[in-house]
Structure 1
Amino acid sequence: MKKLLILFIAITSLATAQKQDITLDEIWNGTFRTERMNSLNSMNGNFYSLLNFDRATRSSSVDKYSYATLEKVETIVNSKNLTNLSYFENYEFNNDETKLLLGVATEPIYRRSSLGIFYVYDIASKKLQLVDKDKIQEPTFSPDSKKVAYAKNNNIFIKNLETNEVVQITSNGKKNFIINGICDWVYEEEFSFVRAFDWSADSKNIAFLRFDETEVPEFSMQLTGKELYPTQQVFKYPKAGEKNAVVTLHLYNVASKNTSKINLGDYEYIPRIKWTKDANLLSVITLNRHQNNLNLYFVNASNNTAKIVLNETDEAYIDVHDNLTFLKDNSFIWTSEKDGFNHIYHYSEEGNLKNKITNGNWEVTNFYGINEKSKTVYYQSVEDGSINRTIYSIKLNGKNKQRLTNTSGTNSASFSKNLNYFINTFSDVNTPTVYTLHNSKGTQLKEVLNNTKLLEKLEQYNLSQKEFFTIKTENGEFNAWMLKPSSFDTNKKYPLFMTQYSGPGSQSVSNTWNGANDYWFQHLAQQGYIIVCVDGRGTGFKGADFKKSTYLNLVKHETIDQIDAAKELAKRSYIDANEIGIWGWSFGGHMSTNCLLKGNDVFKMAIAVAPVTSWRFYDTIYTERFMRTPQENPAGYDDNSPINYANKLKGKFLLVHGSGDDNVHVQNTMRLTNALIEANKPFDHAIYPDRTHGIYRGKNTRLHLYNKMTTFIRENLGSGNKY
């Protein structure tokens, strides 16, 4: 019996020893890719459509599926059957789903914007109609399907699909001066939209924004390229405290071809426009420059008058959202964190509060829609804990709340247009993404897709279990997770490597499946490092007070929390207090830099990728939302800028940036570099030519970056030895 036991232990040990370590090549060549559903488009009735690509024939198709069965009902269009279009990259239906806009030759501009060639496809006749011979932006069907509005060269055009006539409705568009109907850089980046025009429901009017960038300072980036001489990219970028584009609202009447400018009083920003259920009534949101005074206007297209129906103020700032939803009677749904937590409200058309629909010390994280017939509202929230997401329904009167997804973790719903069905996307720390079909009562009808093959593959690897916990410092109790080496021994001491982002309203500690960086952290754990992530003050989903506690002092309190968390962790017997490192990207790169400098007695090394190094260099909308202007709050900007205390550097520092970063400009890294040189502080440096903020374009770019960072960690944390 003893021999059998010894043999069993030996076999078990051998099996464990034979498990593989994760390599960096595997992380970036797709070995651990999670299978996902194509992004689906909900159609009229109980149907959805998918854009499918046939690699064998190099053709595209739009296919229609039933929510009830998940079976394909028909192929709406296949590029194999089109004479002038061998494939297409995107599509959009008109209202009655008799026509499609098909896009090809897409050319990215910034994060969300792109140019392309577009065709209208008539489903009945199977005919293609070219919208414009040139590349255009944001083509959009009129609600009556007779016209398409689009932007080109900073102007707006309307094509009549019946006559092929094209009407240019603006003519003053000019690059780096005037933009009509398309957002400028800072609106696209920070207010998260591109198309700044909208058809009225009766197709009689187009509302649009005009951006006058004339006085906005220009920013230029040198692009190395592949030619003999480099080129320059020049665009308008308003840095904190500088002039924004002057944005105005206009209404164009299709019949009279007249354009009217709408008076909205005093404001700095127009972050949203949207027609209500009344074809004559346009909703418009304005914000002051501090972004703490929001007005919701209704504009009457008959007389071009505007009235305020809702005003919201905050001592800090108000986040803009896309949850404004109009009911048939033109009453509307609105979400707000005015009571300290984000909740759903119902207002009358006149702006009078009818009901607060959700209530509690938790956050609504997504509003999915309302079934007016059953008076049922569908939403996602953190009622199951701030690191989880759960789907709920509730009646419009705030009663009869029902939990629609039962498993704790991250649930995200994609509802049918009529809200009869939803496809739930679920994952948690142990479960890669699973897609399931549910009816509106939450009953699971069918599993659509799972990732059991990935789990089987991962059985071959030495993986560590991510452990969730909370860490308490004198400034609060924070969500955190930890990865220990799979061979963890409580009698040993291990180097600690901290990861974080820490930006306002963000979340890095969540009960969800691995992203690419999680596999990198597993790789590092295999090398003998303990990895920890802490969401300190300023992060999201724990109420407005927690999120807005960093107001006017970005990265000050966040830095304190990471330093204090490192000190608390260092008290644990298995963590080597002399071997602590930290890294971050973008906001997180600012944080890791600050932690190394201000916590130079705690952190031995840090990596900063694409970091902000002074908020004076970042854009108006984001920065001033949290800091006000540099003229009003100079100490908030300068006291927390590592440029101003580069002489504090003691540990090892790797500074990385893409030279083509239009978001966080490489200027940030260059100015910190100069400060470190002037302080005679040694550090490591890497510039990725022409790469944008994500540093991913080009063969092996990400692999090269992560090889560099991994080598830096091994050489400077834990003496490079596997523990």
Structure 2
Amino acid sequence: MKKLHFSLLFILGFIVAGTAQDKQIPLEEIWNGEFRTEGMDVLRSMNSGTEYTVLNSDRDTKSSMIDKYAYSTLEKLETIVSSADSKEIPYFTSYEFSQDESKILLATEIEPIFRRSTLGVFYLYDVASKEVIKIADSKIQEPTLSPDGAKVAYVQDNNLFVFNLADETTVQVTMDGVKNKIINGVTDWVYEEEFGFVRAFEWNSVGTKIAFIRFDESEVPEFSMDLYGSELYPSRHEFKYPKAGENNAVVSLHLYDVANGKVSMVDLGDAYYIPRIKWMNNANNLSVQILNRHQDLLKFMSVNAVNNKVSLLLEESDKAYVDITDNLTFLADDSFIWSSEKDGYNHLYLYDSKGKLKNQVTKGPWEVTSYYGYDKKTDKIYYQSTENGSINRDVYSIGRSGKSKKRLTEKIGQNYASFSADFTYFINTFSSATTPPVYTLHKAQTGKELKKIKDNQALLEKLEAYAISPKEFSTLAINGNDLNMWMIKPQDFDATKQYPLLMFQYSGPGSQSVANRWMSSNDYWYQMLAAEGYIIACVDGRGTGLKGRDFKKVTQLELGKYEVEDQIAAATALSDLSYIDENRTGIWGWSYGGFMSTNCLLKGNEVFEMAIAVAPVTSWSFYDTIYTERFMKTPAENPSGYDDNSPFNYPELLKGKYLLVHGSGDDNVHVQNSMRMIEALVQANKQFDWAIYPDKNHGIYGGNTRLHLFTKMTNFIKENL
């Protein structure tokens, strides 16, 4: 048998206070929120940099308020606005200050559309006069104040509007918006999901022009879903969804001149995708990022908003694909900071205003994972990276020249920073596999901790009563790579006994499941299973992120090939351990992880005895253009890449026990994926278990849904592993 090469990094033993108890974690407590961590409400730094605001609300009394606090003391200074103190202001759930902080845009009656998009009713509150103005008569999308605070631009019924606060008049900028045909100023489904933004319009720095993207969805195929609800007849939800190889929306860039009311189109040439637009500090200069359909060539353009002339600032190309990020900052002279993987790892670069490279700011065999911003007073860039190991995160500062780098966080685990507007302070959120989130205030210059704000000590004390096993982090030598892994063993683990093994993975491109962070809800489920005699392991194989460009992009054109090979090899290697029962090996995953677990059970049918797939992709031809073609090109260009890794093409390989789960209202990974898998298995006369959750989306939640799902999965594991 194959010998196991196993490198133990460390064991995060977390027997609280030295003595563990025997109480087991019940599913009901997990999904009722019994182990939920305390967090901090989202805070927003005020322009002064010495104060911040927090939205404090009470859902039960339907009251909300914006409170101001001092960074130095963390004490409340005043309440700026409260719905309880005003008959004109209803309960609000989010807010946005004007640039000078004299006005506040308040969001009420918010309803979701898709993952990020919402509709709502919005009010504008004047801080000095306390006057309240309702922005529109019905629900709107993405209202945004102009830099001078005089106007609000928003989208309603796929058209762009501008509301003038002085006389409360509205100008309709576009006239051609039609559902499932033309969209102005907000993104279509696939841009929202894969490029990660909704608002597709931007004010320039002085509020004289608005740049916006227009989407012509006329030729995009329409997808429909039946929604069963509680009425006599189901309803149908129809929206434009471009599957791999199909037509995308035709996008175009337009400029609206507020003074004369004219709209002009900017000729961007061969712009297939427009994933980002951003105005520079110069009010007449707009930056635009465009991508080709293969997403392997990105052009960063400058548009002169006076004459609409377009010039090229820089190009990024990659044999696989170029990632789109928000790591772009224009400095005072419109030189800019940009991130790129061109040296093999994601790093920061400094360019002049003409797009000429001045210097590479960060370097090394590690990844910049977040860019926090630039402080012009101290000439420091703040960022987060994996310099202390790919499963950890730390916060750093560095000069634009790439010198004077300083680590600002000390604890090994996950560190996330939220900086004050002037970079005087940052609030650090720290967690690890042994420490639930701890919030602390720090000096940005030195990283010195000034004050502990909040911890979750009460949760740790509660967990003293439960059977909690340590999460062991290690690397596993598989197919020429050292793969990150964690393992949870039963608390009463005995190396002379044999245990069933349940593996979990996600495995999608650039993802990470093995990280030194506090437990999620699923981790409590693993603790429950471990207490009942299971070993749970997670391995991040090739294609996952934060270990360099080549490791991440090796799966190009072959999604599901190398990742599956690594999981099968990892399961085989782990079965070599004396305490693993090689005849009881299972694997599960959700979404991409469900695609993986299905393939592992079929292609690894001599290794895996059981698999659970939740909301899986079963053919990449069913998934959207932007995500799928980024990694696979189109089905016509890469037929074998699609067919060879689509599990419904080889249902006859099924030997083990298989549970397939999907929500019928999944707008992301359509239930069509599971229906095709079911039909293939039926025609191959293969027995399996399956469950469809009516009207549930990709997250499969609501009411008792998660509890029901995890009860079903737990029972399936106990019966078949």
TM-score range for the pair, normalised by the shorter chain length: over 0.9
Q: Deviations over 1:140-170 (max 9, x none)?
A: 0001111000000000000000011100000
Q: Per-residue deviation at 1:188?
A: 0.1
* Structure 2 residue ranges without an equivalent (≥5): 1-14
Question: What SS does the aligned partner of 1:600 have?
Answer: coil
Aligned to 1:689: 694
Q: Is contact 1:496–1:579 with CA below 8 Å preserved after alignment?
A: yes
Identity of aligned residues (%): 62
Indicate conservation of the 8 Å contact 2:90/2:108, yes or no. Answer: no
Correspondent of 1:511 among 510, 516, 537: 516
Which structure carries more relative contact order (alpha carbon 8 Å, separation 6+)? 2
**RMSD over aligned Cα atoms:** 1.1
Structure 2 Cα separation of the partners of residues 160 and 201 of structure 1: 17
Structure 1 position 638 matched with structure 2 position 643: yes
State the distance in 2 between where 1:267 and 1:605 align: 46
Tell me which residue corresponds to 2:363: 359
* Superposition deviation, residue 69 in structure 1: 1.4
SS of 1:471's partner is strand
Are the aligned partners of 1:475 and 1:561 in contact in 2 as well (CA < 8 Å)? no
For the pair 1:67 / 2:71, whether they are aligned, the reply is: yes
Pick the aligned partner of 1:218 from 215, 222, 239. Answer: 222
Paired residues for 1:237-276 under 5 Å: 237-276=241-280
CA distance in structure 2 between the aligned counterparts of 1:635 and 1:267, rounded to whole angstroms:
29
State the 1:373 CA deviation: 1.6
1:324-382 superposed Cα distances (whole Å, 9 cap, x missing partner): 10000100000001100000000000000011100011100011001112110100000
Distance apart, 1:16 and its partner CA: 7.4
Q: What is the identity, as a one-letter code, of the residue corresponding to 2:116?
A: R
Partner residue, 2:619: 614
- Residue 17 (structure 1) shift: 9.0
Aligned with 2:652 (options 644, 647, 654): 647
Equivalent runs, 1:506-545 vs 2, <5 Å: 506-545=511-550
Distance 1:43 1:166 in 2: 29
Tell me which residue corresponds to 1:561. 566
TM-score, normalised to structure 2's length?
0.97
**Counterpart code for 1:226:** S
What is the 5 A alignment of 1:135-534? Answer: 135-440=139-444, 441-534=446-539
| Per-residue deviation, 1:265 | 1.1
For 2:274 and 2:52, the matched residues in 1 are separated by: 33
Residue pair 2:68, 2:80 contacting (<8 A) in 1 also: yes
- Letter aligned with residue 697 of structure 2: T
Q: Cα distance 1:220–1:57, how it changes in 2: closer, same or farther (>3 A)?
A: closer
Pair 1:663 & 2:668 matched: yes
Measure the CA separation in 2 of the matches of 1:635 and 1:47: 57
User: Is the aligned partner of 1:713 residue 2:713?
Assistant: no
Residue identity matched to 2:516: N
Task: Write out per-residue CA displacement over residues 412-433 of structure 1, whole angstroms, 9 at most, x where no aligned residue.
Answer: 0001111111000000110000
Deviates more, 1:73-82 or 1:604-613: 73-82
Quote the Cα distance in structure 1 between the aligned partners of 2:339 and 2:70. Answer: 32
Q: Measure the CA separation in 1 of the matches of 2:78 and 2:276.
A: 37
Which of 87, 90, 107 matches 2:111? Answer: 107
1:47 to 41, 46, 51: 51
User: Displacement, 1:580?
Assistant: 0.1
**C-alpha displacement at 1:55, in angstroms?**
5.3
Corresponding position: 1:32 with 2:35? yes
In structure 2, give the amino acid aligned to 1:582.
Answer: I
Find 1:601's aligned residue among 590, 606, 610. 606
Structure 1 residues 303 and 510, CA gap change in structure 2 (3 angstroms):
same
Q: CA deviation at 1:127?
A: 1.2
Deviation at 1:54, TM superposition (A): 3.4
Whole-angstrom distance in 2 between the partners of 1:401 and 1:437: 21
Aligned length: 703
Are residues 1:629 and 2:634 paired? yes
Q: Is the 8 A contact 1:180 1:208 kept in 2?
A: yes
2:46 corresponds to which letter in structure 1?
M
1-structure distance, mates of 2:354, 2:182? 35
What is the distance in 2 between the residues matched to 1:80 and 1:278?
A: 42
Whole-angstrom CA distance in 2 between matches of 1:248 and 1:267: 8
What SS is found at the alignment partner of 1:522?
A: helix
Distance 1:624 1:18, change over 3 A: closer
SS in 2 for 1:445: strand
How far, CA to CA, are the matches of 2:44 and 2:540 in structure 1?
A: 34
Q: CA separation in 1, counterparts of 2:261 and 2:511? A: 45
**Structure 2 CA distance for aligned equivalents of residues 673 and 26 of structure 1:** 33
Change (3 A) 1:421 1:18: closer
What's the CA shift for 1:179? Answer: 0.2
> 2:278 and 2:254 mapped to 1: Cα distance?
13
Aligned-pair CA distance for 1:523: 0.6
Where 2:525 maps in the other structure, the secondary structure is helix
Contact 2:485-2:514 at 8 Å conserved across structures: yes
Question: Structure 2: how far apart are the matches of 1:174 and 1:314?
Answer: 37
Aligned twin of 1:573:
578
Distance 1:384 1:221, change over 3 A: same
CA distance in 2, matches of 1:600, 1:549: 24
Contact 2:21/2:464 (CA < 8 Å) preserved in 1? no
Q: Secondary structure at the match of 1:306?
A: strand
Counterpart-to-counterpart distance in 2, 1:19 and 1:617: 46
Correspondence 1:590 to 2:595? yes
Deviation at 1:47, TM superposition (A): 1.6
Deviations 1:516-561 (A, max 9, x none): 0000110110110000000000000000000000000001100000
> The residue matched to 1:713 in structure 2 has which SS?
helix
SS of the residue corresponding to residue 650 of structure 2 reads helix
- How far 1:86 moved relative to its partner? 3.4
Paired with 1:546 and 1:402, the residues of 2 have a C-alpha distance of 28
The 1-side partners of 2:215 and 2:420 are apart by: 36
**Residue of structure 1 in register with 2:8 after alignment:** none
1:258-287 Cα deviation digits (max 9, x unpaired): 111101111210000010011110000000
- Structure 2 Cα separation of the partners of residues 515 and 446 of structure 1: 26
Q: Secondary structure at the match of 1:182?
A: coil
Q: Secondary structure at the match of 1:431?
A: coil
Amino acid at match of 2:341: E
User: What amino acid does structure 1 have at the position aligned with 2:365?
Assistant: N
Alpha-carbon shift at residue 477 of structure 1 (Å) = 1.4
* Aligned AA (1:496): L
Contact 2:224 2:238 in 1 (8 A): yes
Q: Does 1:23 align with 2:23?
A: no
SS state of the match for residue 432, structure 1?
coil
| Residue 3 of structure 1: aligned partner | none
Q: CA deviation at 1:470?
A: 0.5
Q: Retained in 2: the 8 A contact 1:155–1:171?
A: yes
What is the one-letter code of the residue matched to 1:28?
W
1:24 Cα offset (Å): 0.2
